[in-house]
Structure 1
Amino acid sequence: MAASSSSGGGPGGPGTGNPTGASGLTAAITGTMNKKKKPFLGMPAPLGYVPGLGRGLVYYGCWARPAVGAPRHLSDRDSGRKVIPKRHAVGYKSERLPTGRDNRNVFDPQSRKCNVFVHCILKGEPDREERDVIFVENIIGEHGADGKTLAEESWYRARILVRNAGGMLILRPTLPGLPLDVWRMNPACSSEIRVGKSVPEGEDMHSFHSSFFFRLKKKVYYSLVQFGGLNSPFPGGLNSPYPGGMTPGLMTPGSGELDMRKIGQARNTLMDMRLSQVSDSVSGQTVVDPKGYLTDLNSMIPTHGGDINDIKKARLLLKSVRETNPHHPPAWIASARLEEVTGKLQVARNLIMKGTEMCPKSEDVWLEAARLQPGDTAKAVVAQAVRHLPQSVRIYIRAAELETDLRAKKRVLRKALEHVPNSVRLWKAAVELEEPEDARIMLSRAVECCPTSVELWLALARLETYENARKVLNKARENIPTDRHIWITAAKLEEANGNTQMVEKIVDRAITSLRANGVEINREQWIQDAEECDKAGSVVTCHAVIRAVIGIGIEEEDRKHTWMEDSESCVSHGALECARAIYAHALQVFPSKKSVWLRAAYFEKNHGTRESLETLLQRAVAHCPKAEVLWLMGAKSKWLAGDVPAARSILALAFQANPNSEEIWLAAVKLESENNEYERARRLLAKARSSASTARVFMKSVKLEWVLGNIEAAQELCEEALHHYEDFPKLWMMKGQIEEQQELIENAREAYNQGLKKCPHSTPLWLLLSRLEEKVGQLTRARAILEKSRLKNPKTAELWLESVRLEFRAGLKNIANTLMAKALQECPNSGILWAEAVFLEARPQRKTKSVDALKKCEHDPHVLLAVAKLFWSERKITKAREWFHRTVKIDSDLGDAWATFYKFELQHGTEEQQEEIKKRCENAEPRHGELWCKVSKDIENWQQKIGEILILVAAKIKNTF
Structure 2
Amino acid sequence: MSHANRKNKNFLGQPAPLGYVPGLGRGATGFTTRSDIGPARDADDISDDRHAPPLKKKKDDKDDDDEDDLNESNYDEFSGYGGSLCSKDPYDKDDEEADQVYDAIDKRMDEKRKERREKKLQEEIERYRQERPKIQQQFSDLKRELASVTMEEWLNLPEVGDARNRKQRNPRKEKFTPVPDSVLARAAASTGTSNVLSERDQKYGGLSTPFGTITPGYSTPGGAATPGDIDMKKIGEARNTLMDIKLTQVSDSVSGQTVVDPKGYLTDLQSMLPSHGGDINDVKKARLLLKSVRETNPKHPPAWIASARLEEVTGKVQAARNLIMKGCEECPKSEDIWLEAARLMPGDQAKAVVAQAVRYMPNSVRVWIKAAEVETEVKAKKRVYKKALEHIPNSVRLWKLLVEMEEEEDARILLSRAVECCPTSVELWLALARLETYDNARKVLNKARESIPTDRQIWITAAKLEEANGNKHMVEKIIERALSSLRANMVEINREHWIKDAEDCEKSGSIITCQEIIRAVISVGVEEEDCKHTWMEDAESCAAHGAYECARAIYAFALTEFPSKKSIWLRAAYFEKNHGTRESLEVLLQRAVAHCPKAEVLWLMGAKSKWLAGDVPAARSILALAFQANPNSEEIWLAAIKLESENNEFERARRLLQKARASAPTARVMMKSIKLEWCLGEIDKAKTLLEEAVKHYPDFAKLWMMKGQIEEERGQLELAREAYNQGLKKCPNSIPLWLLLSRLEEKNGQLIRARSILEKARLKNPQNPELWLEAIRVENRGGLKNIGQTLMAKALQECSNSGILWAEAIFMEPRPQRKTKSVDALRRCEHDPHVLLAASNLFWSERKVTKAREWFQRTVKIDPDLGDAWAYFYKFEMMHGEIETQNEVRKRCISAEPHHGEQWCKVSKNIENWRLRTEELLPLVSDSLPVPT
| Fold similarity call, TM over 0.5 | yes
Q: CA deviation at 1:307?
A: 2.9
Counterpart CA distance in 2 for 1:500 and 1:625 is: 35
Letter in 2 for 1:658: N
Residues 265 and 597 (structure 1), Cα distance of their counterparts in 2 relative to 1, 3 Å cut = farther
| Contact residue 173 and residue 244 of structure 1 kept, 8 A | no
Partner of 1:169: none
Q: Secondary structure at the match of 2:162?
A: helix
1:680-759 alignment, distance < 5 Å: 680-759=652-731
From 452, 459, 472, give the equivalent of 1:500: 472
SS state of the match for residue 926, structure 1? coil
Does structure 2 conserve the Cα–Cα contact (< 8 Å) formed by 1:488 and 1:507?
Answer: yes
Partners of 1:414 and 1:512 in 2: how far apart? 40
Measure the CA separation in 2 of the matches of 1:52 and 1:907. Answer: 76
Q: Contact 2:841–2:932 (CA<8 Å) still a contact in 1?
A: no
Higher mean displacement: 496-505 or 925-934 = 925-934
Q: 1:179 to 1:772 in 2, by over 3 A?
A: farther
Tell me what 1:317 maps to: 289
Q: How many residues end up aligned between the 2 structures?
A: 729
Query: What's the CA shift for 1:948?
Result: 0.9
In structure 1, how many angstroms separate the alpha carbons of the residues matched to 2:317 and 2:591?
Answer: 76
Residue 277 (structure 1) aligns with = none
Distance in 1 between residues matched to 2:174 and 2:808, nearest whole Å: 80
Match of 2:235 in 1: 241
Q: Do the aligned partners of residues 248 and 757 (structure 1) sit closer, same or farther apart at CA in structure 2, a change above 3 Å counting?
A: farther
Please give the alpha-carbon distance, in whole angstroms, between the structure 2 residues aligned to 1:315 and 1:868: 61
Of all paired residues, the percent bearing the same amino acid is 73
Instruction: Write out per-residue CA displacement over residues 876-909 of structure 1, whole angstroms, 9 at most, x where no aligned residue.
Output: 3333222222222222211112212222222222
Matching residue's letter, 1:54: D
- Asked if the contact 1:174–1:243 (Cα under 8 Å) also holds between the matched residues in 2, the reply is no
The one-letter code sitting in structure 2 at the alignment partner of 1:378 is A
Going from structure 1 to structure 2, the CA distance change for 1:294 and 1:514 (only over 3 Å counts) comes to same
The one-letter code of the counterpart of 1:860 is D
How far apart are the structure 1 equivalents of 2:665 and 2:459? 63
The reply to whether residue 601 of structure 1 matches residue 709 of structure 2 is no
Name the structure 1 match of 2:86: none
The aligned runs of 1:428-827 (5 Å cut-off) are 428-827=400-799
What's the counterpart of residue 177 of structure 1?
183
Distance in 2 separating the partners of 1:120 and 1:548:
97
RMSD: 3.1
* Matches of 1:836 and 1:118, distance apart in 2: 68
When residues 585 and 50 of structure 1 are mapped into structure 2, their CA distance, relative to the original with a 3 A threshold, is closer
CA change 1:769–1:345 in 2 (3 A) is same
Structure 1 residues 178 and 120 mapped into 2: Cα distance closer, same or farther (>3 Å)?
farther
1:385 aligns with 357
Q: Do structure 1's residue 873 and structure 2's residue 845 form an aligned pair?
A: yes
Larger radius of gyration: 2
For each residue in 1:364-401, what CA deviation from the matched residue of structure 2 results, as whole angstroms up to 9, or x when unmatched? 11111111121222111111111111111111111112
2:860 maps to 1:888: yes
Q: Identify the range of structure 1 (377-386 vs 695-704) with the bigger mean alpha-carbon deviation.
A: 377-386
Offset of 1:867 from its aligned partner?
2.1
Q: What is the SS of the residue equivalent to 2:235?
A: coil
Counterpart residue number, 1:194: none
**Equivalent of 1:396, from 341, 365, 368?**
368
SS at match of 2:671: helix
1:634 alignment partner AA: G
Residue 162 of structure 2 aligns with which residue?
54
AA paired with 2:848? K
Paired position in structure 2 for 1:410: 382
1:175–1:244 contact (8 Å) kept in structure 2: no
CA contact (8 A) 1:567 1:580 kept: yes
Which one-letter code corresponds to 1:603 in the other structure? F
Asked whether the equivalents of residues 682 and 701 of structure 1 are also in contact (C-alpha less than 8 Å), the reply is yes
Q: Kindly tell me: are residues 51 and 507 of structure 1, through their superposed partners in 2, closer, same or farther at Cα, counting changes over 3 Å? A: closer
CA spacing shift, 1:330–1:292, aligned 2, 3 Å: farther
Match of 1:360 in 2: 332
- The residue that corresponds to 2:316 in the other structure is 344
Q: Deviations over 1:26-78 (max 9, x none)?
A: xxxxxxxxxxxxxxxxxxxxx99999943399xxxxxxxxxxxxxxxxxxxxx
How far the C-alpha of 1:831 sits from its partner, in A, is 1.5
For 1:645, give the aligned amino acid. P
Deviation at 1:303, TM superposition (A): 4.3
Change in 2 beyond 3 A, CA 1:548/1:264:
farther
Deviation track 1:259-284 (CA, whole Å, cap 9, x = no partner) reads x99x999986999xxxxxxxxxxxxx
Change over 3 Å in CA distance of 1:363–1:772 after alignment to 2: same
Q: Distance in 1 between matches of 2:257 and 2:370?
A: 43
Stretch moving more, 902-911 or 659-668: 902-911
Amino acid in structure 2 at the alignment position of 1:241: I
**Pair 420,719 (structure 1): closer, same or farther in 2 beyond 3 Å:** same
Secondary structure, counterpart of 1:54 in structure 2: coil
TM-score of the two chains, using structure 2 as the length reference: 0.74
Does the 8 Å contact 1:865/1:884 carry over to 2?
yes
Name the structure 1 match of 2:916: 944
In structure 2, relative to structure 1, the CA distance for the partners of 1:905 and 1:309 (3 Å cut) is farther
Specify the code of the residue in structure 2 equivalent to 1:55. Answer: A
Q: Deviations over 1:617-673 (max 9, x none)?
A: 000110111111111111111111111111111111111111101111111111111
- The one-character-per-residue Cα deviations of 1:477-521 (angstroms, maximum 9, x if unpaired) are 111111110111011001000101111111111111111111111
Instruction: Kindly indicate whether residue 342 of structure 2 is the aligned counterpart of residue 370 of structure 1.
Output: yes
C-alpha contact (below 8 Å) 1:721/1:731 kept by paired residues: yes
SS in 1 for 2:525: coil
Deviation at 1:402, TM superposition (A): 1.6
CA distance in 2, matches of 1:629, 1:704: 24
- Note the 1:197-208 alignment, pairs <5 A: none
CA gap of 1:268–1:122, structure 2 versus 1, over 3 A, is: closer
Pick 1 or 2: higher relative contact order, CA cutoff 8 A, min separation 6. 1
Q: Would the alpha carbon gap of residues 843 and 330 (structure 1) be closer, same or farther in structure 2, given more than 3 Å must change?
A: farther
- Identify the range of structure 1 (498-507 vs 951-960) with the bigger mean alpha-carbon deviation: 951-960
3-state SS, counterpart of residue 752 of structure 1? helix
Per-residue CA shift, 1:337-363, capped at 9, x if unaligned?
Answer: 222222222222222222212221111
Cα distance change on mapping 1:361 and 1:238 into 2, 3 Å = farther
Superposed, 1:140-179 pairs within 5 Å as 159-160=176-177, 172-175=178-181, 177=183
Residue deviations 1:815-871 (CA, integer Å, cap 9, x gap): 212111111111112111122222222222222222222222222222222222222
Map 1:414-429 → 2, pairs under 5 A: 414-429=386-401
For the residues of structure 1 that align with 2:351 and 2:753, how far apart are their CA atoms? 96
Give 5+ residue unaligned stretches, structure 2: 1-154, 187-229, 245-249
Q: Structure 2 CA distance, aligned partners of 1:646 and 1:539?
A: 32
1:741 maps to amino acid: E
Question: Could you say if the C-alpha distance between residues 960 and 887 of structure 1 is closer, same or farther in structure 2, counting changes exceeding 3 Å?
Answer: closer
1:329 to 301, 304, 307: 301
Distance 2:492 2:544 in 1: 27
| C-alpha spacing 1:776/1:270, structure 2 compared with 1 (3 Å) | closer
Map 1:212-361 to 2 at 5 A.
Answer: 241-242=235-236, 298-361=270-333
**CA deviation profile, 1:111-164 (whole Å, cap 9, x unmatched):** xxxxxx9999685xxxxxxxxx868xxxxxxxxxxxxxxxxxxxxxxx52xxxx
Query: C-alpha distance in 1, partners of 2:160/2:452?
Result: 89
> 1:197 corresponds to which residue?
none
Q: Who is 1:141 aligned against?
A: none
Distance (whole Å) between structure 1 residues aligned to residue 343 and residue 289 of structure 2: 24
Instruction: Tell me the distance in 2 between the aligned counterparts of 1:238 and 1:324.
Output: 80
Counterpart in 2 of 1:851?
Answer: 823
Report the Cα distance in structure 2 between the residues aligned to 1:490 and 1:784, rounded to whole angstroms.
81
